[in-house]
Amino acid sequence: MRGLMMDSPLLISAIVRHAARNYPDREIVSVTGDNPQHRYKFSDCIQRIHQLANALDKLDLAQGDRVATLAWNDYRHLEAYYGIGGAGYVCHTINPRLFPEQIIFIINHAEDKLILTDPMFVPLLEKIADKTPHVEGYIILTSEDQMPQTSLKNAISYEALIEPESDVYEWPELDERTAVALCYTSGTTGDPKGVLYSQRSTVLHAYAGIAPDVMNLSMRDCVLPVVPLFHVNAWGIPYAALMVGTKLVLPGPKMGDGETLYALMEAEGVTLAMGVPTVWLALLQYMEANGKRLDKLQRTVIGGAAVPESMIREFRDKHDVVVHQGWGMTEMSPLGTLNSPKVGMEDLSPDDMIAVQAKAGRGIFGVEMRIVDDDQNELPWDGVAFGALQVRGPWVCSDYYKLEGSADSHTDDGWFDTGDVAKIDPEGYMQITDRTKDVIKSGGEWISSIDIENVAMGHPSVAEAAVIGVAHPKWTERPLLIVIKAAEADLTKEEMLQWFDGKIAKWWYPDDVLFVDEIPHTATGKIQKVKLRQQFADYKLPT
């Protein structure tokens, strides 16, 4: 027997309608390229979303056509999310930090018809314009008077495009399985792969994100996403914030600038900020160097890479800020786990609590997890056994865009293979041991590069640390530790190695320590292990 409930489709336009009715006065504050500080209300934002949707409908676009964005986190980019996706087109966010060849590949693979771009990326687009023939026009995210001189065809300023349009819009009644957004993986191995989100997956993911033990998002919050709108929907914040009326603070091109981030947090009363560990390193270093303290921030969600214990400790001890670690990936919209304490953990000692927080967190309802061995046998959640981490759920991709199964990313019984290696403890806290391709295989056993990095990062003289496996005649591979010293710190290899005493197993100790000035990062701010491995391909360990 079927239930007798309405079959209302889950559409992002419903979020806009809800926000317009219920939170018209909530604010969105942005830093933009052409506007050091822009501030307006949800009601203004929504009127402009309607204007954009009306404008797009007049262009030569069919439903499902890809409309790309190449932009930082600001109010116009946010409007594009809803104006494009809500109207039935696909908002394809492009990561401007990718190499030009990758950007060309992505634009062509997606067959983008239009590109909405920040003015600062106009020179880049001009350089690649003859290699991206599908693109029919460019909308420059600025006002008419700030419009740069450009050879881009059919270029128009965003403000000139939307200005003549009505601020009332009739949203189309779409099927909830309609595609709404497209994001490519960073392509650390091989070509980037497109992940195509649906209206339904996006709304469900936003619902999941606001729950108390996930991001606990409400109208009482003010959120600063330092996670980019151009990568995995800024962890769903653009949708979740409008769903519950959260004030938004968007840092524009100043995402990596500790001083701006700090000033925004204090001035706007940011209660929750989110970002990858590298961004928070910059902020913590700025605050340390300038004797600043965070007075308003209550919590931060950090994910995208393992969070070192030292970072959790510094946020807690110096700023009274709780770190919630999260784990996810482009293919998962991205949320998979989030770290919140379980009932009964109130009495844990501060050190034991940090040990819990250093894990990636517990499964969010909607994402099922399992760990399996090489023969696909499920492994126990005992905190010891580790294996390939697989997931399934309504906001996990079922395939990549236009790859039709060729990526071999799913198991026969319908689980997505994340490419991560993990263990899960009896309380349900998952911990990433490594990416499958980064794990160090030493004498038939696995060593977690992440665990060694985390311990190294705890040393007061270490600014950043990375561990890779290098070839070893007897053990196949052994760990090599690469370290950037903290400013003016004095640290020897011997002191570094001593630091591991009692913290990790002896056979996990790095075989060598190298001090460098720079560690390469990916376009999303993570340590680029592939590049490091290339860089040290000929490196011979001391015997």
Cite the active site residues: 185, 331, 441, 446
**SS3 letters across 155-201:** EEEHHHHHCCCCCCCCCCCCCCCCEEEEEECCCCCCCCCEEEEEHHH
Query: CA 490, 496, 498, 502 torsion: positive or negative?
Result: positive
| Distant-in-sequence, close-in-space partners of 74: CB < 8 Å, separation ≥ 6 | 30, 31, 32, 33, 38, 141, 250, 252
Which residues within the stretch 352-411 sit at the binding site for ligand ADP (CB under 6 A)?
360
Cβ at position 359, least distance to ligand ADP in Å: 8
Interface pattern 78-107 for ligand ADP (x via CB under 6 A): ------------------------------
| Distant-in-sequence, close-in-space partners of 211: CB < 8 Å, separation ≥ 6 | 364, 365
- Strand, helix or coil for residue 460: coil
Cβ at position 105, least distance to ligand ADP in Å: 15
Of 329 and 467, the one with the shorter C-beta distance to ligand ADP is 329
Kindly state whether residue 306 participates in binding ligand ADP, applying the rule CB under 6 A. yes
Kindly state whether residue 468 participates in binding ligand ADP, applying the rule CB under 6 A. no
Of 274 and 321, the one with the shorter C-beta distance to ligand ADP is 274
Interface pattern 418-447 for ligand ADP (x via CB under 6 A): xxx-----------x--x------------
Q: What is the DSSP string of 242-299?
A: HHHT-EEEE-BTTTT-HHHHHHHHHHHT--EEEE-HHHHHHHHHHHHHHT---SS--E
Q: Which two tokens stand for residue 137?
A: 């026009």
Cβ at position 390, least distance to ligand ADP in Å: 12
Cβ at position 364, least distance to ligand ADP in Å: 13
Q: How far apart are CA 376 and CA 4, in angstroms?
A: 40
Is 363 within 8 Å of 211 (Cβ atoms)?
Answer: no
Kindly state whether residue 340 participates in binding ligand ADP, applying the rule CB under 6 A. no
| Distant-in-sequence, close-in-space partners of 352: CB < 8 Å, separation ≥ 6 | none
Of 112 and 420, the one with the shorter C-beta distance to ligand ADP is 420
Given candidates 80, 87, 305, 424, which one binds ligand ADP under the rule CB under 6 A?
305
Q: Which of 265, 210, 273, 276 is nearest to 242 (CA)?
A: 210
Pairing of strands 35-41, 27-32: antiparallel
Kindly state whether residue 325 participates in binding ligand ADP, applying the rule CB under 6 A. yes
Of 24 and 187, the one with the shorter C-beta distance to ligand ADP is 187
- Strand, helix or coil for residue 35: strand
Interface pattern 509-538 for ligand ADP (x via CB under 6 A): -------------x-x-x------------
Cβ at position 186, least distance to ligand ADP in Å: 3
One-letter amino acid for residue 383 of the chain = G
Is 392 within 8 Å of 368 (Cβ atoms)?
Answer: yes
One-letter amino acid for residue 405 of the chain = G
Cβ at position 458, least distance to ligand ADP in Å: 16
Of 105 and 475, the one with the shorter C-beta distance to ligand ADP is 105
Cβ at position 221, least distance to ligand ADP in Å: 22
Of 258 and 334, the one with the shorter C-beta distance to ligand ADP is 334
Is 114 within 8 Å of 139 (Cβ atoms)?
Answer: yes
Kindly state whether residue 188 participates in binding ligand ADP, applying the rule CB under 6 A. yes
Cβ at position 522, least distance to ligand ADP in Å: 6
Given candidates 85, 238, 303, 366, which one binds ligand ADP under the rule CB under 6 A?
303
Given candidates 304, 363, 479, 510, which one binds ligand ADP under the rule CB under 6 A?
304
Kindly state whether residue 54 participates in binding ligand ADP, applying the rule CB under 6 A. no
Pick the stretch among 169-177, 201-209, 300-308, 503-511 that binds ligand ADP (CB under 6 A). 300-308
Of 202 and 260, the one with the shorter C-beta distance to ligand ADP is 202
Of 65 and 420, the one with the shorter C-beta distance to ligand ADP is 420
Cβ at position 526, least distance to ligand ADP in Å: 5
Q: How far apart are CA 250 and CA 229, in angstroms?
A: 10
Q: Which two tokens stand for residue 262?
A: 């700090």
Pick the stretch among 5-13, 33-41, 55-63, 303-311 that binds ligand ADP (CB under 6 A). 303-311
Residue with tokens 């003016």: 488
Q: Which of 151, 157, 156, 109 is nearest to 134 (CA)?
A: 109
Pick the stretch among 242-250, 379-387, 415-423, 454-462 that binds ligand ADP (CB under 6 A). 415-423
Kindly state whether residue 236 participates in binding ligand ADP, applying the rule CB under 6 A. no
Number of residues that bind ligand ADP (CB under 6 A): 21
Q: Which of 116, 118, 96 is nearest to 106 (CA)?
A: 96
Is 280 within 8 Å of 232 (Cβ atoms)?
Answer: no
Cβ at position 324, least distance to ligand ADP in Å: 10
Of 252 and 326, the one with the shorter C-beta distance to ligand ADP is 326
Kindly state whether residue 330 participates in binding ligand ADP, applying the rule CB under 6 A. yes
Of 242 and 335, the one with the shorter C-beta distance to ligand ADP is 335
Pairing of strands 335-338, 361-363: antiparallel
Kindly state whether residue 192 participates in binding ligand ADP, applying the rule CB under 6 A. no
Q: Which of 91, 11, 9, 45 is nearest to 246 (CA)?
A: 45
Q: Which residues bind ligand ADP (CB under 6 A)?
A: 185-186, 188, 303-306, 325, 327, 329-330, 334, 360, 418-420, 432, 435, 522, 524, 526
